[in-house]
Homo-oligomer: A and B are copies of this chain.
Amino acid sequence: MNTLEKQKPLFPKGEKASDEYFTGNTWVNNLVPAEGPFNTWIGNVVFEPGARNNWHTHPGGQVLIATAGVGYYQEKGKPIQLLHPGDVVQIPPGVVHWHGASPDSEFTHIAITTNTQKGIVVWLERVTDQEYHSLANAVTNTK
């Protein structure tokens, strides 16, 4: 493998995600449809810096595999976790959470939404700027 080949992203960006459920520009490339024999939706998701989805749950759970950039993941009532390439996030069914890019880096993950026969996603309220910037606030507070 040469360096040029390695620098190319694994997947093209795909379609722009809905402004109704995402803040900032996010791109979704559908890889495996939810309706098939796998009961699993798989997609590659690229968040531009600062972009994130709304709070939401997955009735059948979801796994995220971070592949490029620096991302954020937060479960309701817990601090934001930083995500780097190779990090795997296991989101059990019904857990309220959001994910997205950090403010200064694009972020890419593969999303694997499991047990889709139970439902795919339940969208909740938007992640506010205050919630999104709570990691930066926490860091500032320790200075």
Q: Which residues of A contact B (CB under 8 A)?
A: 1, 3, 5-8, 10-11, 31-32, 36-40, 42, 60-61, 63, 65, 67-69, 85-86, 88, 90, 92-93, 110, 112, 114-115
Contacts and interface: CB of A to CB of B under 8 A. Distances in A.
B86 A63 contact: no
A44 to B, nearest CB: 9
Q: How many subunits of this chain does the assembly comprise?
A: 2
Given A3-B7, A65-B110, A88 B39 contact: no
Contacts of A63: 31-32, 38, 40, 42
Nearest to A38: B114
A93 B31 contact: no
Given A67-B10, A68-B1, A112 B37 contact: no
A14 to B, nearest CB: 12
B1 A90 contact: no
Contact of A40 (B7, B8, B37, B40): B40
Nearest to A90: B32
Contacts of A85: 5, 8, 10
